[in-house]
Amino acid sequence: MSTIQVDNPATGEIVGSVPVLGSEQLSVMAARARAAQPGWLELGFKGRGAIMSRAQKWMLDNAERVIQTVISETGKTYEDAQLTDLGYAVMALGFWAKEAPKYLSDERVPSWNNPAVVGRKLIVRYAPHGLVGVIGPWNFPIVNGFGDCIPAMMAGNVVILKPSEVTPLSSLLMLEMLSECGLPADVMQVATGDGSTGAALIAESDCVMFTGSTRTGRAVMKAAAEKLIPCYLELGGKDPMLVCADADIGRAANAAAYWSMNNAGQVCISVERVYVEAPVYDQFVQLVTANIESLRQGAPDGAGSVDVGAVIFPPQLEIVDAHVKDAVAKGARVLTGGHSKVDGGRFYEPTVVVDVDHTMDLMREETFGPVVPIMKIADIEQGVRLANDSPYGLQASVWTKDTAHGEAIARRLEAGAVCVNDVQVNYQALNLPMGGWKSSGIGSRHGAGGIRKYCKTQSLLITSFGFKREIFMFPYARGRTMLLQRFYKFFYGRGKRG
């Protein structure tokens, strides 16, 4: 069996190695998972939730270990690992433990408004798919992987998690955590490996939850279509930020700097392009540039040591560099940054680019690095047009002191999530759906849909009254035409009489 070495992108140090599992191992794991599923379902929401709540406490008690594990394989800053990877999981464990019963308990729906079923008991029931295959990317090794396992398990499924080959260690720690917190064996398993392991996992799954690039997302959906299983995709983005002339420019500039540089820009909902109305453009650019010039970058050495971390995935460094070079070749100007820094670790300087337009890859394709391109626009109409001129539709933000106007603009943007005067914090609102439009995905995480997607619905119709014959049975069925017409008139015709 081949193995993958895991390195620390900020130092180049090898921090671990994991096996690449293949189809044979995956079928054994799937069989074990399926055997564990009925017992797990039997535990009920309360029993499953108790384990998640214990895990929430475990995470808080072991916060330092979790943060250091994430940093060791991503080279991100202490704050990035703490806020997102640790913070999200702590929140999500508690949220789904508490809210799963609300979203998944049986629902009674009315029967009185339909003559065909009046008097019957109508129930919607949510039944788990069985084995959910969760496949994750490398930028948030806990959030976009383990984070999706939590609602899947709370719904009564068993899961096999295939973390990115670049960052598998955090997922193994999550498995260790759940085992210590009493998770029955095989309810969650981690299948380390590369794309071939992911493909083998889909072949064994009853449902797929995938987070990663749009390109791989297409292959995943094809494989799921062959098996005819549900498949949910959280893919790439090219999130626009629209700054109106009446915005609080200080707040907007700070937000542009922070939310384009957090996690070194390796965030699907990062600020990837900014459009600023002409009257405030110069001031905005000056504030953002000053902010970004002051950032400290390097290998993290504890809390508060650096502001911008490493580039996690080696080829990403080339993509970021190519986007900046393409923009410069087409007339853009780099105001700060603009170079790779490879000295043991892999870094790309925090970069601001101006004089950009939509002929440049930097404004059209996902850059996924610490680079913020800023474009001057004549008015917000042009901004809306340019924001929507993208194959992606993950997230966007609008900046204005007139929040009603901001909301009206937000509703015109082709994106699954839009913030007015904020960025990314919507991801922390676990009762708010989060998912992409267009090439950014299918389905959503969080909210009711974020857990119901891990279930099949079953409709139950229960008739408890004892008429031996009625209009849906012989002999009345033969002559029911007039009777039915009267029924329909009674039920549906009343509003139209007068």
User: Any idea which residues carry the catalytic annotation?
Assistant: 234, 268
Half-sphere CA count of 419, side-chain side, radius 13 A: 24
- Please report whether residue 165 would count as binding ligand NAD according to CB under 6 A: yes
Residue 122 burial (CB count, 10 A): 15
Compute how many residues bind ligand NAD; rule: CB under 6 A. 32
* Shortest separation between residue 190's beta carbon and ligand NAD, angstroms: 12
Nearest CA among 147, 135, 128 for reference residue 191: 135
- Does residue 198 belong to the site contacting ligand NAD (CB under 6 A)? yes
How far apart are alpha carbons 367 and 5 in whole angstroms? Answer: 26
Helix (H, G, I), strand (E, B) or coil at 50: helix
Nearest to 151 by CA among 139, 141, 143, 163: 143
Q: Does 138 bind ligand NAD (CB under 6 A)?
A: yes
Binders in 391-410 for ligand NAD, by CB under 6 A: 394
Q: H or E element: which one contains 4?
A: strand 3-7
Mark the segment that binds ligand NAD (CB under 6 A) among 24-32, 95-103, 157-165, 489-497. 157-165
Q: Is 219 in the site for ligand NAD (CB under 6 A)?
A: yes
Q: Cα–Cα distance between 301 and 109 in angstroms, integer? A: 56
Of 8, 56, 189, 216, the residue at the interface with ligand NAD (CB under 6 A) is 216
SS3 letters for 116-181? CCCCCEEEEEEEECCEEEEECCCCCCHHHHHHHHHHHHHCCCEEEEECCCCCCHHHHHHHHHHHHC
**Interaction residues for ligand NAD, span 262-321 (CB under 6 A):** 268, 313
230-249 residues near ligand NAD, rule: CB under 6 A: 234-237
- Indicate whether 220 belongs to the interface with ligand NAD (CB under 6 A): yes
The residue within the footprint of ligand NAD, chosen from 18, 71, 89, 199 (CB under 6 A), is 199
Query: Which of the residues 347 through 366 are near ligand NAD (CB under 6 A)?
Result: 366
Peptide linkage before 101 cis (omega within 30 of 0):
no
Query: How far is it, in rounded angstroms, from Cα 304 to Cα 79?
Result: 7
Q: Exactly one of 156, 337, 441, 450 binds ligand NAD (CB under 6 A); which one?
A: 441
Element (H, E) at 17: strand 14-19
Pick out residues in 409-438 that bind ligand NAD (CB under 6 A). Answer: 436
Segment near ligand NAD (CB under 6 A), from 52-60, 84-92, 131-139, 347-355? 131-139
In Å, what is the CA distance from 43 to each residue of 40, 105, 157, 426? 5, 15, 12, 32
Nearest approach, Cβ of 199 to ligand NAD (angstroms)?
A: 4
Q: Label residue 320 exposed, middle or buried (CB < 10 Å: 0-12, 13-18, 19+).
A: buried
Among 144, 189, 205, 260, binds ligand NAD (CB under 6 A): 144
The least distance separating ligand NAD from the CB of residue 365, rounded to whole angstroms, comes to: 10
For the bound state, the minimum distance from the C-beta of residue 193 to ligand NAD, rounded and expressed in Å, comes to: 7
Which candidate, 312, 307, 310, 248, places its Cα nearest to that of 280?
Answer: 248
Q: How far is the CB of 256 from ligand NAD (least distance, A)?
A: 19
* 194 lines the binding site for ligand NAD (CB under 6 A): yes
Note the residues at the interface with ligand NAD (CB under 6 A): 135-140, 144, 162, 164-165, 194-195, 198-199, 202, 211-213, 216, 219-220, 234-237, 268, 313, 366, 368, 394, 436, 441
